[in-house]
Amino acid sequence: MTHNIEPISTAAITDLQLIAYLEGNLSEADIRIVEAAILDDKSIEQALEGLAMLPASDIKKIKHQLSSSLHKRLHRNEKRKLARFTWKDALPILIVLGIAFLGYLFLRILK
């Protein structure tokens, strides 16, 4: 059984990646990366030891909570994205400014 786990770098090993490591759901390359990170960082080693001591039901709850919070955060970030400014957005403004400028020139010529 494989899960959609983000590519692992030694810079940031997530709890979901550690859980996947414990469950044996990582590729050989990802396992080597996690193990290298464990050797480099004692806090990752301690987190893995803590997760290993938990019963499977608690790990499933943690995994569900992490997945749902990640999903909420990604959804929130999508809402925060600014709309891109395109020419289609500027066109009405340019038309109004053009009409105003032509009106100004027309009135100036009539005087």
Residue boundaries of the structural domains of the chain: 15-84
| 12 closest CA partner among 39, 28, 34, 45 | 34
pLDDT tens for 80-99 read: 666 667 778 889 999 999 99
Contact of 6 with 30, CB cutoff 8 Å: no
User: Which are the contacts of 16, defined by CB distance < 8 A and separation ≥ 6?
Assistant: 5, 63, 66, 67, 70
User: From CA 60, how far away is CA 38, in angstroms rounded?
Assistant: 22
The pLDDT of residue 110 is 85
CA distance 105 to 109: 6
Q: What is the pLDDT of residue 79?
A: 63
Determine the distance from the C-alpha atom of residue 73 to the mean position of all C-alpha atoms in its chain, rounded to a whole number: 7
Q: What is the pTM of this model?
A: 0.50
